[in-house]
Amino acid sequence: MAESVWISKFLGPIVFILGISMAFSPKELQETTKKFLADTPLILISGVLAMTAGLSIINSHNYWIVDWPLIITLFGWALMLGGALRIMSPGMVNRAGSEMLNRPRLMRVFGVLWGALGAFLVYMGYG
């Protein structure tokens, strides 16, 4: 469980701040996302980084127990799969991302959920 606490100290603040940004500054984040989606090489590079981060988590924390550390394992797998998708099909990522941008209310809802998840991880890491 020491790995769980250590990883949540990194993931928690990032996920929390991203969630707050999505919930309270959706227009700014939407503009940034539009620019990101228009840059295929950036999508590819972000895929490499996400896959690297996901594999790092999976290789050090692949715990399939029904307890809070499962969140970290699932997060690692999601990063790895999302990164692989960006590497293999940046065009599909562009289309899916553009579709999500057409739903600003959804960004606020996901922002609240991400913020709560981040706050939970911060609590588990530092609390």
Across the range 78-82, mean pLDDT stands at: 96
Contact between residue 62 and residue 76 where contact means Cβ atoms under 8 Å apart: yes
Amino acid at 73: T
Domain residue ranges in the chain? 16-126
Q: Which residue has the higher pLDDT, 76 or 103?
A: 76
Q: Is 114 exposed, middle or buried (0-12, 13-18, 19+ CB in 10 A)?
A: buried
pLDDT tens sequence across 32-64: 888 888 888 999 999 999 999 999 999 999 999
Token representation of residue 37:
């989606």
Contact between residue 122 and residue 44 where contact means Cβ atoms under 8 Å apart: no
Q: Is pLDDT at 126 greater than 80 in this prediction?
A: yes
- Give the C-alpha separation, 79 to 49, whole Å: 9
pTM for the whole thing? 0.88
